[in-house]
Amino acid sequence: MQPMSHQVMGYDRAITMFSPDGRLLQVEYATKTVRIGNTAMGIVCKDGVLLVTDKRINDKLIVSSAIEKIFRIDDHLIATAAGILSDARVLVERAQQKAQENQITFDNPVDTLTIVKDMCSLKQMCTQSGGLRPFGVSMLVAGIDQDDVPRLYRTDPTGQYYQYKASVIGEGETEIIEKLHNEYKESWTTDQALTMAVQSIKEFLGDKFSLERIDAAKVNIDTKQMEKLSHERIKEIIK
């Protein structure tokens, strides 16, 4: 007689219920939601940190310029996401408030890790509280702190976070991360990283690719200011 699956036995009906082999199935489902989300990349460079994402425009009537998938948390701090973007908006608005509170309280810009830890604390709480569901989104949080060091963090639905030199989330993760492992260089400028990122997304999307789908932003070490890259600027850099 075949053993019953975890789902049939009901271990995925509540976020607080562990399966016999120690898994929280609802959290794993949230992670699968991220894997079918839009592709997003973060790359640390010698002159700053870059975020690039696929807007995934599925309707020709949509105004592409109105789609926002890279978010400003503070002047020196930006984020993007893959998964349920409405979940990401909640986390971004909380992070923006945290950044403002830090500026008012300490008269200093908030550092990247403080924002990431606060974001992940909320995510983790939603993995152990009845009546809630996990955040179905992974975030890439990038910034330049007061020590002039560019930093990139990835947060997952579990509430885990890691610091990366380069990372990918979303549907293109498996293919693009292999390319990053082979080609990434710490000596890259943000322009060189952008060229590589756009080419990687283009290779993954194939015939579906259009530059209109690309959203990109960076924070430079010298200015510590978010710079949104227009389509014209992206074309100029990658030509």
- At 157-198, the pLDDT tens digits run 999 999 999 999 999 899 999 999 999 999 999 999 999 999
Binned at pLDDT 50, 70 and 90, residue 7 comes out as low
Domain spanning 6-238: CATH 3.60.20.10: yes
- Strand-pairing partners, residue 164, are 152
Question: 125 is written with which tokens?
Answer: 């709480």
Give the domain ranges of the chain: 6-238
* 136 contacts 15 by C-beta, under 8 angstroms: no
Q: Measured in Å, how far apart are the chain's first and last C-alpha atoms?
A: 62
- In Å, how far are 57, 108, 199, 219, 232 from 212, measured between CA atoms? 8, 37, 14, 22, 10
- 3-state SS record for 44-65: EECCEEEEEEECCCCCCCCCHH
Neighbours of 14 (CB within 10 A): 13
Which pLDDT score, from 0 to 100, does residue 3 have?
Answer: 59
Q: Indicate the SS3 state at residue 153.
A: strand
